[in-house]
Amino acid sequence: MSGFRLADGGRVDRRTKRSFTFDGKAQWGYAGDSLASALLAQGQMLFGRSFKYHRPRGILGAGVEEPNALVTVDRGPGRVTPNLRAPSVPIYDGLHATSQNRFPSLKTDLLAVNNVFSAFFPAGFYNKTFMWPRGAWEKVYEPIIRRLAGLGDSPKTRDPDHYDATYAHCETLIVGAGPAGVAAALDAAAGGGRVILIDEQEEIGGGALSDPAQWGWLAEASAKLAAAGNVTVLSRTTAIGHYHQNFVVAAERLTDHLSLAEAEGPREKLWRIRAGEVVLAMGAIERPLVFEGNDVPGVMLASAARTFALRYGVAVGRKLVVMAVHDSGWRDALALQEAGVNIAAIVDLRRDIDPALAEAARAARIGCYTGYAVTKVTGRQAVTGVKIALDGVAKEQSLECDAVLMAGGWTPTVHLWSHAKGTLRWDEAWGAYLPDKSHENLRCVGACAVAWDFGSGLAIGALPAAKPLHESKAFVDFQNDVKARDIGLAVQEGFRSIEHIKRYTTNGMATDQGKTSNLNGLQIASDVLAKPVTEIGLTTFRPPYTPQSFGAMLGHHKEALFQPLRKTGIDDWAERKGAVYENVAQWRRARYFPLIGEDMDAAVARECLGVRSAVGIFDASTLGKIEVVGPDAAEFLNRMYTNPWKSLEPGRCRYGLLLGEHGFIIDDGVSARLAPDRFHLTTTTGGAARVLGMMEDYLQTEWSDLDVWLTSTTEQWAVIALQGPKAREVIAPLMEGIDLSAEAFPHMAVREGHICGVETRLFRVSFTGELGFEVNVPAQHGRMVWEAIWAEGQKHGVVPYGTETMHVLRAEKGFIIVGQDTDGTVTPDDAGLGWAVGKKKPDFVGKRSLARPDIVATGRKQLVGLLTDDPQAVLEEGAQIVADPNQPVPMTMIGHVTSSYHSATLGRSIAMALVAGGRDRMGETLHVPMPGGVISAKVVAPMFYDAEGSRLNG
Amino acid sequence: MLLIHCPYCEEARPEVEFVYGGEAHIARPLDPSTYSDAEWEEFLYIRSNPRGRHHERWRHTHGCGRFFNAVRDTVTDVFETTYKAGEPRK
Amino acid sequence: MKRFSGFNLIGEAFRSHQGWPEHWPDKAPKASYDAIIVGAGGHGLGAAYYLAKKYGITNVAVIEKGWLGGGNTGRNTTIIRSNYLYDESAHLYDHAVKLWDGLSQELNYNIMYSKRGVLMLAHNVHDVQSFKRHIHANRLNGVDNEWLTAEECQAYCPPLDISPNARHPVLGGALQRRGGTARHDSVAWGYARAAAALGVDIIQNCAVTGIRRGADGAIEGVETERGFIASKRVGVSAAGSTSLVMKMAGLDFPLESYPLQALVSEPVKPIFPCVVMSNTVHAYMSQSDKGELVIGAGTDQYTSYSQRGAFHIVEHTLAAICEIFPIFTRMRMLRTWGGIVDVTPDRSPVLGKTPVKGLYVNCGWGTGGFKATPGAGDLLAYTMAHDEPHKINAPYNLDRFRNGRLIDEAAAAAVAH
């Protein structure tokens, strides 16, 4: 116990107490406290255990740079969040926080045995061992390592919270609301444009929050910003990253600072902001110093101790020693002493100290050890004192203390600048990379532009020490347990680029992403390699600036809103009939309509027989539809599709086959010519958007001389298919203005008229081999017309059928489904559709590719039918076909089954397959080796029913 | 998310309104049958893929629906210009 | 090369690890080599290693414009699998998987190949058909791949949501148990160390500025920032930069380079035991040994060398992840990054000879090159050593774009109808 609450001071509300728990123990703090400040005030110094060696760790920083004090916050079922940084967790009544990565408790962590054996786990140790016996890595070593690794526990149940997202636009976006950011916001606001000011902390003010002298100014400025009509101030909002063209993404935390009772609405909100100008006022982060024992709980950044004292009214110890190489350490020490925190001594490696600072320290009765360095911190779970030595190497002397403050200089926060590909330049005096040039309208102000007076200091990584580097236990990356000696080892082992050193040692790869460790690592590598920092490189800053929840990224895009589910106007009719659905592209389609007790096979068999014997009704509304209009419409289609279109008479339909320019089938569909200049095209359900996009491409960019308009009409038309010998009888009473007789209205014709009083485009087409009609009506009337047809159909035994039955019926006729019987590598000839290729046409999309050597070669896979020797054996779709089933693995496969069903109509199984040289194998027996045995089948033409087509012409 | 100036709408709009259309100024031959296999391969597949200035096609799919051309630096992703289809290469 | 072992590690611990030598010496280029590899990623370093180890060519240089392993080798999500459909692909990737097995021992470097299993989810009838086709083809090719029901999928990967009411319900999955992950950096370092021990020179910070060809058109060597280096055999394994290098040799290539993003979460204790991929929902994920959830995002739609992508890709990716694994919404994204992937028209690699004598190429791996690392290295080495492709990589020639004999796995997965 060393920290305590100061008698006065700070911005916490001392009239309002908050109670919470830490590791199950009741604790309290004031409103405005962070978890770190409240616990420090209670004397808690131990906050966590390190990742690898399980060393006891305390607080290092007072903000997002904190690497050690990671906690899990539990807000009830599904609301568990691991790895939160204690200084950034505001307390509220009922907060339950627990420490992580320890067993069984923070104080007594049995895994700290790792620390005893740390000599065996240097950087990269895992590359050197765990290789024997072979196979033991994933069975023995890796599971142990995985259990030891990780930080907190992942959430394990569904998160009841939801997340919001928005877009915002402004003339000026300011990131960071410290004094420089606030000043920039006031400036920009005066210009009249829209201003957004964002800051990650609980309230705006940044560094000014730790400086009571600025509170008056801050209050005035806040009031001005609040009063300005053109300024949006977002606190508790972290700018995650800068993306192309001043697109900045930020995440706002809306409820995590509130008790569960107070929390209402979304938990977080994602802001996607496009700004004319971005002003970065992200400040700077103080650097720790690297010396023996710098990770003992109670060793922290001087700026952090200042923040705890002046912002939260908490002393981090009763007797403090400051280890500085920078003036800011002296200033912080003086401010702390004045606030009532006992500073026992300032140790500074420099001999030349600003006389004013030295004088002030003496006046404050602070012991000054100039030219000295801390060589060791004593204590295990808490600081008991330090050893110091002149230049770090002379005889050691001891100082008693219970906390050590480090002032190692400042690193400007250039993360977003770097995200924007702004260049950086090395500054020797700052010992840091500073913003240089950017091609964006982006600038830095305040400390991150080094326009802030922290004083001056040395830029060094490690303090000088008598001990050789390879024996020292001085830490660079606290969370990942990277010591200075690990960086030395990496260099010794030949890793010279900073990226290599980073990856080999894991320096800077922890959840703080190197905010306090990167530059110290770089300096140490530079010293070991005896090369300037600039020759070693710099690791890349990547978004996000601090870790952000997945929830905020996905916003509303979950469950039903993850992706729209498209439903036809008839969909809920099917639902009421108990349809089982399948998803096809973005649509859901009724797959079959089981009666009570029926499985899919039984339902499909019944539906098939119903269509073949009477009539079936099918919702085909998902078919893609494109209206092609204009004087050159026929010419355009003639160039797009493989078959001729110019000769098609109005009132007639044609099957169209569409290739990519590579010559492979990509879509098909039956289309109708309604008038000389008007076509009604259909595409596959999944292909509609792609086909339209492709047609627009050719129309606009290759054949812009053609006078044609393309309009997507997929959702304008409901399509009701009536298929079966009684189809005509069912629709006849409902139809007006169309002569349905076979003579007047033959197969593959189209007529316009009315059904149930609404306009219709009636196609006489068949995808089943039966007499069939497709009734197109405006989508809003689809349900009404469907119900009318359904009612009429009752007299004729109509059955509703789904996609599965449709698949069986068309397979019986050998009609292909693009995407099932073709797979993007199939040409028209392969699919047996050579007849659909206009031989006399000079050109169409894909024609030239059909003449390429491999496409005209023999032995290509061709679509054939298969009849199994055992008529009841149904091949599995996707099963592979061989000529010789007794050959050893790997076998020579000559094809695969594309479609396979039990045909109730035929009382046996049928299949379609792509088989090498298939059409020359008619009558041959081929084999399908399955895990349970080989199935033999005979190659036949892919036509199993009514080959002469008498039924569909009926 | 890129911000793309549509030369037809005369407005800069976010990338999600647009669909990328590959390298620009690769015209389909008027009579592909006159092309050798090598020439056809080049038309279909060979792309310049430069580091730097890239002429490319975009379609303002969720806007005016028009195809247009752009010059973009593939290192910085900064657009130099966009221009209407049919205009000469810039 | 000092041998890596638990025994030596303990021994070194007692002298503060001062006895470990460099993994590989930092070499300056010699005037000439028997073979040069351009690009020190896993593939290029692997090629150098196998040239020296299997094919007896030890006077080899690997030249790299940056730091070795700094391209896609160090930026990918480390998934390894070989359950591809076509014979050509299955043979290619399974050749690699066979080499992955035992690679740690061969290189004396723990590359942490972990057969955690790769589970590919089927969300619709079309996926089921497609995966069954893969499974059957794999079985007859001797490649393991098995069908799991939705319940079995969840048992294999407990965080998986298999509720039938999900927007994209899980209907089952294809599991390759030999699939898994390895540690990407270790692969590059392990090959580099083993190759260097066999005499290969690894030359970093040495960008190629030109390719020199003789009067007969054959390769004479490469111009670099550090001078001309002669060699009659040059293998280019430069991923996203391949078309730039090929242009130096006067060759136009069927390649385009796209940004591909990936991201990791903060580390947590073990929660996710395998690799899961969903092509329909566009998500794939595993958990690293360190505890991070490793998530692959998509490519941007446009070509770019900027090594950064758009944020909406990340949004979509995490929405997809949380759609399949809804317990992860409170997990936090720690780091996103981008790489440059080179993509061919059929999305399969080009691995073999080029029209220029003595110039060989290994490129076009798109988003899937890591899994092939040992195989690609070995086959590039074989091809360079014999001036003929191995029968496994023979189909991956440039001629296929002329004659139409494409190897289009993505097209084979086809589209919903």
Average pLDDT over residues A823-849: 96
Total beta-carbon pairs less than 8 A apart between chain B and chain C? 61
Residue C254 sits at the chain B interface (C-beta within 8 Å): yes
Asked if A508 and A521 count as a contact pair (C-beta separation under 8 A), the reply is yes
What gap in Å lies between CA C310 and CA C260, rounded to an integer?
Answer: 10
Candidate from A156-160, A406-410, A535-539 with smallest mean pLDDT: A535-539
Same domain, A397 and A499: no
Query: Token digits for A729?
Result: 């009888």
Task: Compute the residue count for chain B.
Answer: 90
A350 pLDDT higher than 70: yes
φ/ψ of A531, rounded to 5, equals -130, 150
Find the Cα–Cα–Cα–Cα dihedral C106, C110, C113, C115, rounded to 10°: 100
Cα angle A101, A102, A108 (rounded to 5 degrees) comes to 160
Instruction: Residue A24: count other Cβ atoms within 10 Å of its Cβ.
Output: 9
Q: What's the helix, strand, coil split of chain B in %, to 5?
A: 15, 35, 45
Q: Which of A602, A426, A405, A400 is nearest to A526 (CA)?
A: A426
Nearest CA in chain B to A844: B32
Which tens digits make up the pLDDT trace of A25-45? 999 999 999 999 999 999 999
Burial of A43: CB neighbours in 10 Å, binned 0-12, 13-18, 19+: middle
Q: Residues A268, A377: one domain?
A: no
Nearest CB to A244; choose among B33, B37, B77: B77
| Same-domain pairing of A80 and A221 | no
pLDDT of residue A603: 98
Separation of alpha carbons A414 and A540, rounded Å: 11
Distance CA A248, CA A252 (A): 13
Please give the Cα distance from C173 to C125 (Å, whole number): 12
Quick check: B37 and C306 CB within 8 A? Answer: no
Give backbone dihedrals phi and psi of A153, rounded to 5 degrees, phi first.
-90, 140
| Same domain, yes or no: A270 and A415 | yes
Quote the number of domains for chain A. 5
Q: Is the pLDDT confidence value at A368 over 50?
A: yes
CATH number at residue A513: 1.10.10.1100
Our CA angle for A731, A736, A741, nearest 5°, is 60
Residues of A with CB under 8 A from a CB of B: 243-245, 247, 272, 274, 421, 439, 661-662, 693, 696-697, 700-702, 704, 842-843, 847-849, 851-853
Per-residue CA distances from A133 to A120, A136, A382, C78 (Å): 19, 6, 42, 23
A553-603 pLDDT tens trace: 999 999 989 999 999 999 999 999 999 999 999 999 999 999 999 999 999
What residue spans define the domains of chain B? 3-26+43-84
Residue A390, pLDDT above cutoff 80: yes
Q: How much is the average pLDDT of A634-648?
A: 97
Q: What does C286-319 look like in DSSP terms, one character per residue?
A: EE-TTS-EEEEEEE-SS---SS---HHHHHHHHH
Touching B (3+ Cβ pairs <8 A), the chains are: A, C
- Identify whether residues A277 and A332 lie together within a single domain: no
Rg (chain A; Cα; Å): 38
Task: Band the pLDDT of A815: cuts 50, 70, 90.
Answer: very high
**In a shared domain, residues A297 and A365:** yes
* CB–CB contact A138 C116 (8 Å): yes
Angle at which helices C87-100 and C125-141 cross, to 10°: 70
Q: Are C257 and C300 in contact (CB under 8 A)?
A: no
Within an 8 Å CB–CB cutoff, is residue C345 touching chain B? yes
Which pLDDT value is given to residue A533?
93
Show the domain range for A469.
461-531
Residues A182, A227, single domain; the answer is: yes
Residue ranges for chain C with pLDDT beneath 50: 415-417
Chain C: nearest CA to A300, how far in angstroms?
23
Nearest CA in chain C to B58: C302
Query: Is A854 in contact with C403 (CB distance < 8 Å)?
Result: yes
* Per-chain mean pLDDT for chain A: 96
Burial of A352 (0-12, 13-18, 19+ CB in 10 A): exposed
Which range (A251-255, A426-430, C355-359) has the least confidence?
A426-430
Tell whether A116 and A227 lie within a shared domain: no
Give me the half-sphere count of Cα atoms (radius 13 Å) on the Cβ side of residue A790: 16
Interatomic CA distance for residues C176 and A619, integer angstroms: 38
Q: Residue A641: its pLDDT value, please? A: 98
CATH fold of B3-26+43-84: Folate-binding fold (3.30.2270)
pLDDT for the residue C226:
96
Partners of residue C316 in chain B, C-beta under 8 Å: none
Q: Are C352 and C396 in contact (CB under 8 A)?
A: yes
Do residues A194 and A166 share a domain? yes
Tokens 């021994």 — which residue? C11
Q: What is the rounded CA–CA span in Å between residue C42 and residue C201? A: 15
CB-CB under 8 Å, C402 with B41: yes
A646 and A765 in a single domain? The answer is yes
Q: Do B37 and A852 touch (CB under 8 A)?
A: yes
Identify the residue among B2, B4, B49 best suited for mutation to test binding to C, counting C beta carbons within 10 A and taking the highest.
B49
Q: Which residue in B1, B56, B76 is closest to C310 by CB distance?
A: B1
Examine the domain organization and report whether A727 and A623 are in the same domain: yes
Does A693 lie in the same domain as A656? yes
Q: Tell me the H-state helices in C142-214.
A: 150-156, 184-197
A694: closest chain B residue by CA:
B21
Chain position carrying tokens 């290789």: A131
Closest CA to A406 of A509, A324, A503: A324
E runs forming strands in A555-610? 580-584, 587-592
Structure tokens at A812: 């019986």
Q: What is the pLDDT of residue C416?
A: 43
For A890-949, the pLDDT digits (tens) are: 999 999 999 999 999 999 999 999 999 999 999 999 999 999 999 999 999 999 999 999
Q: Which residues of B have a CB under 8 Å from any CB of C?
A: 1-2, 15-16, 19-20, 22-23, 37-38, 40-42, 44-49, 51, 54, 56, 72, 74-77
Substitution target in C241, C256, C261, C303 with the highest count of B β-carbons within 10 Å is C303
How many angstroms separate the most distant Cα atoms in chain C?
Answer: 68
Whether pLDDT at A622 is above 70: yes
CATH of the domain at A38: 3.10.20.440
Structural tokens at position A352: 């030349």
Q: What is the pLDDT of residues A101-129, one digit of tens each?
A: 998 899 999 888 888 888 889 999 999 99
Q: A96 is written with which tokens?
A: 């339950």
Those residues of chain B that have pLDDT short of 70 are none
Looking up residue A235, the CATH number of its domain turns out to be: 3.50.50.60
Quick one: pLDDT band at residue A715, thresholds 50, 70, 90? very high
Minimum-distance CB partner of C331 among A131, A155, A854: A155
